[in-house]
A and B are shown apart, each in its own frame.
Chain A
Amino acid sequence: GIQVEQSPPDLILQEGANSTLRCNFSDSVNNLQWFHQNPWGQLINLFYIPSGTKQNGRLSATTVATERYSLLYISSSQTTDSGVYFCAVHGSSNTGKLIFGQGTTLQVKP
């Protein structure tokens, strides 16, 4: 099955800094989503981005499907950005199940 690898596993930032999180996947995908899991465990949709670039406020994401990776950019980080960021992909099967990476744990210090 498809393998999803995220890097780095852990990241500590000072408030105001920028960061890039990476997601590599081992096969072609029909769907890619980025999620933020906050410290209370809630999983929040950030982007649905099987290809191309999207922006939402301080966050943006780019997926290069032909090269099997996606990047999540966080600019001017805030303490509320802390939590775990997951990349998840849906492969060529038609059940739509998402395959998750192990996540990047981000801590933003004031």
Chain B
Amino acid sequence: GAGVSQSPSNKVTEKGKDVELRCDPISGHTALYWYRQRLGQGLEFLIYFQGNSAPDKSGLPSDRFSAERTGESVSTLTIQRTQQEDSAVYLCASSPRVGSGNQPQHFGDGTRLSIL
């Protein structure tokens, strides 16, 4: 597609429920990243995919968080047993390749997650 697409744009759910957030990267981009932005803060790295593999999961805050990518395209971030501190905007980015890191990342509009 023309840009990185994320869905849903907004999600409100009750504490304890599971949520799934989706990211469609720019076509042909092999690298995909998930970030979290809490209110008034900068972005925090969560996980990075190269193809369908995740060589860096170091930013996932707990084992309630997981992500997968299929077909070197769509990625899903899943949060189980949501807690109020999970409330944030979750942003996805993609870039043509990784390695030397010399390709800019392009961001989607994010999913605003609110846990009641």
Contacts and interface: CB of A to CB of B under 8 A. Distances in A.
Contacts of B102: 30-31, 50
Interface in A2-30: 30
A93 B35 CA distance: 17
Interface string B84-116: 000001010101001111111111011010000
Task: Label chain B's interface by main secondary structure.
Answer: strand
Interface residues of B, number: 29
A98 interface: yes
Nearest to A37: B37
Contact of B45 (A30, A45, A86, A97): A97
Given A96-B101, A98-B93, 18 more contacts: A30-B102, A33-B104, A33-B105, A41-B89, A43-B43, A45-B106, A86-B42, A93-B56, A94-B100, A96-B31, A96-B48, A96-B98, A96-B99, A97-B56, A97-B59, A98-B35, A101-B42, A102-B41
Interface residues of A, number: 24
A69 interface: no
Interface of A: 30-31, 33, 35, 41-43, 45, 48, 50, 86, 88, 90, 93-103
A97 B109 contact: no
Contacts of A50: 102
B8 to A, nearest CB: 14
B1 interface: no
Given A43-B91, A86-B43, A94 B101 contact: yes
